Structure 1
């Protein structure tokens, strides 16, 4: 009986601590692994943000390299936050919430998209329009699902 209680307790604790129902892909380093999402637009490259310039939005901490980037993000986070909460755009188009590599990114029609890695980004690049349409249709159904 003790083993059954231990097992149930373990399963319950695992469920509570493992799965996160987050609309934003975030790690211990912050949203988008601590990268400044504004830098993709302003510098055309990923840059790691600092704790000096940070904000909380959608239950995630976002870091920036400058006060200007932080202010621009706070003014219009929906404009600059990565699509699909920073989860892999290709993965979202396939119905999955998948982590991303901040180095595997694209801006399409003024929107930031991230991918799992550079190989997946190559697949993504081949058919972006269709995959964006697919991901846009699927995202509302999976955005609150456990990762």
Structure 2
């Protein structure tokens, strides 16, 4: 029985480690920080803002910064609610091409309680494109993201 418990513990630890490595490999981070340092909870408060180094939390290998202790604690209670979809990559590009494309952290949309980020420059705003065919693009993006994280 002890051997089974030890074996189960080792397997569980290995699976958890693989999840962390997959996240580190596929999530968009800048200098090791997700969302270009923006506070994940602040998006849901309708005012994206940069987090601060003193309010940092690492969730399954991905580091986040927050603008306040309160937002940090909110995130810790339910991280999956606040993490950006598709590892923080452009939702439109994930849906239209299945590609990882950088984002403008201030170009976002919350749909059904989930955060989606988009590429935006002077000449191109992929949020506008996303809005023209959101349901189809989201369905494709979900499939494409699953393929990417299984690589």
TM-score with structure 1 setting the length? 0.78
Matched, 1:107 2:107: no
SS in 2 for 1:103: strand
Q: Secondary structure of the equivalent of 1:104? A: strand
Secondary structure of the corresponding residue to residue 25 of structure 2: coil
Quote how far apart the aligned CAs of 1:60 are: 2.2
Q: Which residue of structure 1 lines up, in the alignment, with residue 27 of structure 2?
A: 24
Query: After TM superposition, which residue ranges in structure 1, 4 or more long, deviate above 6 angstroms?
Result: none
Given the alignment of the two structures, is residue 121 of structure 1 paired with residue 121 of structure 2, yes or no? no
Superposed, 1:68-147 pairs within 5 Å as 68-93=70-95, 94-117=97-120, 119-143=125-149
**Which gives a bigger RCO, structure 1 or 2 (Cα 8 Å, sep 6+)?**
1
Q: Would the alpha carbon gap of residues 144 and 117 (structure 1) be closer, same or farther in structure 2, given more than 3 Å must change?
A: farther
Contact 2:24–2:61 (CA under 8 A) maintained in structure 1: no
What's the CA shift string for 1:66-112, capped at 9, x where partnerless? 11111111111111101011111011112101111111100011110
Q: How many residues align?
A: 125
> Aligned residue for 1:67?
69
Residues 21, 70 of structure 1: alpha-carbon distance in 2 compared, 3 angstrom cutoff:
closer
Q: RMSD over aligned Cα, in angstroms?
A: 1.8
**Over residues 36-67 of structure 1, what are the superposed CA-to-partner deviations in whole Å (9 max), with x where a residue is unaligned?**
0100102x021000011111123221000111
In structure 2, distance between residues paired with 1:29 and 1:103: 19
Scaled by the length of structure 2, what TM-score is found? 0.77
Give the Cα–Cα distance (whole angstroms) in 1 for the partners of residues 24 and 64 of structure 2.
18
Q: Distance in 1 between matches of 2:26 and 2:73?
A: 22
